[in-house]
Amino acid sequence: MDDRQVPPDYNEVGQHGVFPKANHDERARFNFLASLNGHLSRQVLPGVASAFEARAVKKFSAEQGHEPQTLKEMRECMKSDGYYQTWSSMRRNSMEMRQQAGRSLVLRQINDINSRARTLNDNDEQLQLDPSLTVPHYVSAVDIHCMPGCYYTELTEGDVSAGANYDCGLFATTGGMLGRYSDGGGQAIVQWLQNKQEDYQPKRILDIGCTVGHNIVPLAQAFPESEIVAIDVAAPVLRYAHARARSLGVNNITFVQANAENLEQFEDGSFDLIISCMFLHETSSKALPRILGETHRLLAIGGRVLHVEQPQYDQSMPLFEKFMRDWDTFNNNEPFWGAMHDMDLYEEMVKVGFDRSQMTSVEIAAVVDESIFPSAANDEAEDYGRKPTWHVYVAAEQTEQST
């Protein structure tokens, strides 16, 4: 079939100033993982639904006298199904292989990458690290998406390897659907903002949980007059993000090591655009309301908050789909994923002071150079959570607040 979607070669991934230099086999490894992930989600995954219908639900009903009615029962129903076991095992293995591939590429040249980062970062006021900051328990409880050492571990002084590993493997997890600089999410936000309002020019932007800054750089490029603050709790990714942005010629972002639950260094109403990208699900049920509360306090009148996430589980979502979307909670070290998607985010935002009538949601898909990279918007396969198509929660602060 000639219309098969084929990921581009790893050579097409953008080479900025701190990107690890991959040899032939390292690129081939990522090419393989991109194809494997594509195969698992397009060819293998649909069979999980058939396995549920054809046998697992019948077996469960025969034993229990009823079909599974809760997520717990769904897990019980599926866990002994051989096809589901094999798909799950391969999906887990492909993530572990991606981590090893990224780390082996990065760590063999760790001194060179750290040195390149240092050259771009040294004595720069736009990189503000806070060694006294404690990594919150929701970041340290497990290594998120099976990244050994998570975002925050430093192997040597001034280490950026966590950032480099995160950045270089995004291609494999999404089959190239995030585009040349894995920034299709940021590009999509820019496109949505510019379509909504001509000559839109936010004065001050905050990005919460920025990791390597791949989502905020497109906003910095689209709004060069804006003053941008990007925060994260982890120093290695911030060092990498700052060096990455500088090498791409971006000079209007200040990267700050801070915990989004308490941003007292910033004044009330001091940002007119606040974004987070696939971040809220990496927090906790206690932290989330505090973070939303800070966004409400920091948002200027007339400003907007955008949270890019996957859709919430609601009454209308079939139990099987919820179960599939929940897979990462237990099997990909994303322990808050399920609980967060079960929450009513609008309700949580109302609790911290946002006006329900000023909230909306939109669907966006990664914006990429479609002459080379595959478009997630045109991809019909449903992989329940990995594909870069998102649900954006938008809250505005348009009225005089009684704060």
Partner 1 sequence: MSNPDSPLDIDHIAEAGRKAKGKRPQFFNLEESERLMAILMAVVGELAVTRQRLDTLERLLEKNGTLNREAIESFHPDTTEARQRGLMQQEYISRVLRILQQEKESLEQTTKSGPEKSLEQVSSDLGKS
DSSP notation for 54-121: IIIHHHHHHHHSS---SHHHHHHHHTT-HHHHHHHHHHHHHHHHHHHHHHHHHHTTHHHHHHHHHHHH
Candidate list 31, 259, 276, 283; residue touching partner 1; CB under 8 A: 31
List 73, 76, 97, 342, residue binding partner 1 (CB under 8 A): 97
Q: Does 265 bind partner 1 (CB under 8 A)?
A: no
Confirm or reject binding of residue 344 to partner 1 (CB under 8 A): no
Tell me the CA distances in angstroms from 59 to 76, 288, 396, one per residue in order: 11, 39, 49
- Give the nearer residue to partner 1 in terms of CB position, either 89 or 251: 89
* Closest approach of partner 1 to the CB of residue 162, in Å: 12
Shortest Cβ 11–partner 1 spacing (Å): 5
Q: Single out the residue of 18, 77, 147, 168 in contact with partner 1 (rule: CB under 8 A).
A: 147
Binding status of residue 112 toward partner 1 by CB under 8 A: yes
Which amino acid is residue 108, in one-letter code? R
Smallest gap from residue 300 Cβ to partner 1 (A):
39
Alpha-carbon distance of 44 to 332, in angstroms, equals 18
Per the CB < 8 A criterion, the answer to whether 208 and 231 are in contact is yes
**Is position 259 an interface residue for partner 1 (rule: CB under 8 A)?**
no
What interhelical angle do 161-174 and 24-39 show, nearest 10? 50
How far does CA 354 lie from the centroid of its chain?
Answer: 24
Closest to 186 (Cα-Cα) out of 217, 156, 208:
217
15 is an interface residue for partner 1 by CB under 8 A: no
* Nearest alpha-carbon partner for 263 in 202, 340, 208: 208
- Alpha carbon 279 to chain centroid, angstroms: 6
* 369 lines the binding site for partner 1 (CB under 8 A): no
Among 15, 69, 70, 89, binds partner 1 (CB under 8 A): 89
Regarding 139 and contact with partner 1 (CB under 8 A), the answer is no
Give CA–CA dist 165/152, Å, rounded.
Answer: 12
Do residues 232 and 151 touch, judged by C-beta distance below 8 A?
A: yes
Of 172 and 193, which CB lies nearer to partner 1 in the complex structure? 172
**Residue 142 touches partner 1, criterion: CB under 8 A:** yes
Residues 40-79 interacting with partner 1 (rule: CB under 8 A): 43-44, 46-47, 50-51, 53-55, 79
DSSP state of 313: P
- Is residue 154 close enough to count as binding partner 1 by CB under 8 A? no
- Considering the rule CB under 8 A, would residue 115 count as an interface residue with partner 1? yes
Does residue 330 touch partner 1 according to CB under 8 A?
yes
Shortest separation between residue 153's beta carbon and partner 1, angstroms: 10
Task: Candidates 9, 76, 130, 321: give the one binding partner 1 (CB under 8 A).
Answer: 9
Interacting span for partner 1 (CB under 8 A) from 115-123, 245-253, 256-264, 393-401: 115-123
* Stretch of residues binding partner 1 (CB under 8 A), selected from 185-193, 296-304, 328-336, 339-347: 328-336
Q: Is 381 in the site for partner 1 (CB under 8 A)?
A: no
Give the number of other CB atoms < 10 A from CB of residue 315: 4
Q: Which of 92, 277, 232, 108 is nearest to 173 (CA)?
A: 92
- Give me the least distance between CB of 81 and partner 1, in Å please: 10
Phi-psi domain of 67 (left: phi exceeds 0; alpha: psi -120 through 50; beta: other): beta
Nearest approach in angstroms of CB 122 to partner 1 is 11
**Residue 157 contacts partner 1 per CB under 8 A:** yes
